Amino acid sequence: MSSVVLHMDKYKREAVRGIQSHNQRERKSHSNPDIDSERSSLNYDLYHDGKVNFTKIIDQRIAALKLKQAPRRDAVRMCGLIVSSDTEFFHKMSLKEQQRFFLAAKEWLEEFVGRENVIAATVHLDEKTPHLHFCHVPVTEDGRLCAKDIYTRATLKRMQDSFPKFLQSRGFKIDRGVAQEPGSAKKHLDTREFKQQQEALNQLRQDAEAESEKLVKLQTEISRKESEWRKRLDGYEKLAAAADAVISKKHELPTPGLLKAQTIYDEAMAIIRIYQKALADKTILKERNQQLEKQQREVDKTVAAAEAKVASHYEALKKEADQIQKNLETQIARLRQEIKGKEKVI
Going by pLDDT thresholds of 50, 70 and 90, the confidence category of residue 221 is confident
Q: What is the mean pLDDT of the chain?
A: 80
Q: How far apart are CA 298 and CA 300, in angstroms?
A: 5
Do residues 163 and 104 make contact, with C-beta atoms less than 8 angstroms apart?
no
Per-residue model confidence (pLDDT) at position 326: 74
Residues 199-207 have a mean pLDDT of 61
Residues 5-17 have a mean pLDDT of 92
Q: Among 9-23, 229-243, 288-302, which is the least confidently predicted range?
A: 229-243
Residues 6+ apart with CB under 8 A from 243: 278, 279, 281, 282, 285
Do residues 83 and 102 make contact, with C-beta atoms less than 8 angstroms apart?
yes
Per-residue model confidence (pLDDT) at position 83: 95
Residue 113 has pLDDT above 70, yes or no: yes
Q: How far apart are CA 100 and CA 94, in angstroms?
A: 10
Residue 270 has pLDDT above 50, yes or no: yes
Per-residue model confidence (pLDDT) at position 206: 65
Residues 208-231 have a mean pLDDT of 73
Do residues 15 and 74 make contact, with C-beta atoms less than 8 angstroms apart?
no
Per-residue model confidence (pLDDT) at position 185: 41
pLDDT digits (tens, 9 = 90+) for 44-103: 999 999 999 999 999 999 999 999 999 998 899 999 999 999 989 999 899 999 999 999
pLDDT digits (tens, 9 = 90+) for 161-183: 999 999 999 999 999 876 555 44
Q: How far apart are CA 263 and CA 38, in angstroms?
A: 95
225 burial via Cβ count (<10 Å: 0-12, 13-18, 19+): middle
- pTM metric for this prediction: 0.58
Q: How far apart are CA 174 and CA 128, in angstroms?
A: 19
Per-residue model confidence (pLDDT) at position 186: 44
Q: In what order do the strands lie in the sheet with 118-124?
A: 5-12, 76-84, 131-136, 118-124, 44-45
Q: Which fold has domain 5-183?
A: BirA Bifunctional Protein; domain 2 (3.30.930)
Per-residue model confidence (pLDDT) at position 216: 74
Residues 136-151 have a mean pLDDT of 96
Q: Among 59-73, 184-198, 249-263, which is the least confidently predicted range?
A: 184-198
Residue 259 has pLDDT above 60, yes or no: no
- How far is residue 171 from each of residues 76, 133, 207, measured CA to CA in Å? 35, 22, 44
Q: Among 35-39, 180-184, 187-191, 337-341, which is the least confidently predicted range?
A: 187-191
- The three-state secondary structure class of 268 is helix
- The three-state secondary structure class of 201 is helix
300 burial via Cβ count (<10 Å: 0-12, 13-18, 19+): middle
